[in-house]
């Protein structure tokens, strides 16, 4: 097991190197010079040339790349071209903001999605099954942008019960400790602020959860259906076991592997792909951070930001792989 983990961690290295190369070249392939963007429309050619030089962008690509990798190895993510601040410092609050949103969203997606899938499979071809799967279909194809604005319109403007923007009441800001506001407010025992945080999370996390929820529900249903047709389930039922236990214990346990895989993938997607939700709900997350960096051709921020997300993605997948062994003892990573 330990050797397996070590091997997987070692495999991270080529993945990250490959990824850094792809990102490195891709962002340089798009037209537009960071110096030009930073200096704005008015800039003269001399100023652009001189800033290009100062930023080291006139060096050959391999010098730039190895310089970047060298810094990375010492834990230095580089400096934003635009704000001149160290990225490691800048990144943290954005990362925690996205993490909190994605975690809540994936929990909602799992709780609702898995249960909807199970019940659909249990009562296959019932009205619940049909409507749940229709909803899932709508969910998968729902434009988040539209959904977000509709949520705002209904819950914030019509009913006036939930806020539309940001993570906190900015007239009464939260003292950040970890950057995960749910934890921060709980630790400080500020219950009113905790409630404010939850309220701010409600709309964006539901919007963000919609697609993964639908995907999880569909996978759960099909995986469960397959298991429930197998012999041991028939035996269990023949024994007179209550249907609830047959479904939730015997069937789910055997159906959970593909569900887990999808959850892992979806969670990874949420981390990097929350950008639309983050934009509509003014959530200061990492998706928006990178998106804005692309607009400014802020190469180091794009590179490091994507690298961090990729790292998280790979780690989540590793955790999922390890969870397989916990759930299904037949799976072993000894060799």
- Residues 114-143 close enough to bind another protein by CB under 8 A: 114
Subset of 163-182 contacting another protein (CB under 8 A): 163-167, 169-173
Measured CA to CA, the distance from residue 218 to residue 140 in angstroms comes to: 10
Q: How far apart, in whole angstroms, are the C-alpha atoms of residue 231 and residue 236?
A: 9
Binders of another protein in range 271-290 (CB under 8 A): 279-282, 284, 288-289
Rounded to an integer, what distance in angstroms lies between the CA atom of residue 295 and that of residue 37?
A: 8
Contact 7, 334 (CB under 8 A): no
Fill in the per-residue mask, 291 to 330: x = in contact with another protein (CB under 8 A), - = not in contact: -x--xxx----------------------------xx---
Q: Which of residues 92-111 bind another protein (CB under 8 A)?
A: 93-94, 104, 107-108, 110-111
Residues from 23 through 52 that contact another protein (CB under 8 A): 30-33, 35-37, 39-48, 50-51
**Bridge partners, 86 (sequence order):** 79
In order of 146, 208, 272, 284, the CA distances from 276 in angstroms are 10, 9, 10, 12
- Give me the residue label for tokens 């041991």: 232
Query: Rounded to the nearest whole angstrom, what is the least distance from the CB of residue 276 to another protein in the complex?
Result: 9
User: Binding of another protein at residue 261 (CB under 8 A)?
Assistant: no
CB of 12 to another protein, least distance (A): 27
Closer to another protein by CB, 227 or 256: give it. 256
Minimum CB–partner distance for residue 252 and another protein (Å): 7
**Are 285 and 94 contacting, i.e. CB atoms less than 8 angstroms apart?**
yes
Using CB under 8 A, count the residues that bind another protein: 77
Query: 3-class SS at 230?
Result: coil
The contacts of residue 217 (CB under 8 Å, 6+ apart) are: 112, 113, 114, 116, 117, 120, 132, 133, 136, 139
Cβ closest to another protein, residue 215 vs residue 247 = 247
Q: Residue 169 or residue 321: which is nearer to another protein going by CB? A: 169
**Does 239 interact with another protein (rule: CB under 8 A)?**
no
């Amino acid at each position: 097991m330990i050797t397996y983990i070590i091997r997987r961690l070692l495999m991270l290295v080529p993945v990250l190197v490959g990824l850094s190369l792809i990102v490195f070249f891709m962002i340089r392939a798009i037209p537009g010079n960071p110096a030009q963007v930073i200096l704005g429309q008015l800039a003269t050619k001399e100023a652009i040339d001189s800033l290009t030089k100062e930023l080291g962008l006139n060096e050959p690509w391999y010098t730039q790349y190895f310089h970047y990798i060298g810094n990375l190895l010492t834990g230095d993510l580089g400096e934003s071209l635009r704000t001149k601040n160290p990225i490691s410092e800048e990144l943290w609050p954005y990362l925690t903001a996205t993490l909190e949103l994605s975690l809540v969203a994936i929990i909602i997606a799992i709780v609702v999605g898995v249960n909807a899938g199970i019940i659909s499979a249990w009562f296959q071809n019932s009205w619940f099954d049909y409507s749940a799967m229709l909803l899932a279909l709508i969910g998968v194809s729902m434009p988040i942008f539209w959904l977000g604005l509709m949520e705002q319109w209904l819950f914030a403007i019509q009913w006036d019960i939930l806020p539309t923007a940001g993570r906190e009441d900015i007239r009464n800001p939260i003292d950040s400790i970890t950057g995960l506001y749910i934890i921060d407010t709980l630790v400080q025992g500020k219950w009113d602020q905790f409630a404010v945080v939850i309220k701010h999370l409600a709309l964006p996390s539901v919007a963000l959860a919609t697609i993964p929820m639908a995907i999880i529900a569909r996978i759960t249903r099909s995986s469960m259906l397959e298991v429930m047709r197998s012999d041991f389930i028939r035996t269990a039922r023949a024994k007179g076991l209550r249907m609830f236990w047959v479904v939730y214990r015997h069937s789910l346990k055997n159906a959970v592997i593909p569900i887990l895989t999808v959850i892992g993938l979806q969670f990874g997607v949420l981390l990097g792909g929350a950008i639309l939700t983050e934009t509509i709900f003014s959530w200061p997350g990492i998706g928006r951070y990178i998106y804005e960096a692309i607009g400014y051709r802020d190469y180091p921020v794009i590179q490091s930001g994507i690298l961090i997300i990729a790292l998280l993605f790979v780690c989540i997948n590793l955790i999922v792989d390890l969870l397989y062994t916990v759930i299904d003892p037949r799976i072993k990573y000894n060799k």
